[in-house]
Amino acid sequence: MAKAPPARKLKVYAAQIGFFDTIVAAPNQAAALAAWGVRQNLFAEGRARVSKDEANADAALANPGVPLRRAIGSRDAFSLEPALPRAPAAPGPPRLKVVAETKGPAVQPRPDRSALAKAERALAAVNQRRAEEEADIRRRREALDAEDKASRRRWRQDRAKAQKGVVEARRAYEASGGEA
C-alpha cells in the first residue's frame, strides 16, 4: 500500500486589508499573500503577521487556504462573509430640561409724563411765536419794498420833469445870448 503524502504544517497569518481583519491558514507567507490576492509583501511592510490567537487559529485551520474576514475592531468570529459592523444608534432628540418658573423683574409703574408734556407745549408755543414774528417781519418787509418801489418811481418821474425844465431853461438862456 502507498503511503499518504506527509501533511503540510500550516501557519495562521493575520492582516488588515481594507475594512476587514483577515486570517488565512497557509504553509508559508507566499501562499498567504496569494490567498489574500495581494502582490505586495505585507509582511515586509509590517501589515501582516503570524497570528497567535488560538480561537482564530482553529477557524482558519478548519478552512486552509481560504481567507476569513471580520470587520476591523469587532470581536465577532471570522467567517467567509462577515457581517457589517454595527453602527452606534443615532442620537435621539435632546431632552428638554424643566426649569422652574422664575419671576421676572418687578413691573414698575409708568413714569409721570405731565412734566414732559408741559415742556413740549412750552417749546411748541415758542416755535409758534417765532413763526408769527417771521410772518409779521415778512409782511412789513414787503410793505417797505412796495413803498420803496413807489418812491423810486415818483423820484424818476420828478427827476425827468426837473431835467426837462433845466433843458428848457438852458435853451431859453442860451437863446437870449447867455453862455452856458
Q: Do residues 70 and 82 make contact, with C-beta atoms less than 8 angstroms apart?
A: yes
Q: Report d(CA 166, CA 169) in Å as an integer.
A: 5
Question: What pLDDT is attached to residue 136?
Answer: 97
Does the pTM of the predicted model rise above 0.75?
no
Question: What pLDDT is attached to residue 51?
Answer: 87
Question: What pLDDT is attached to residue 158?
Answer: 96
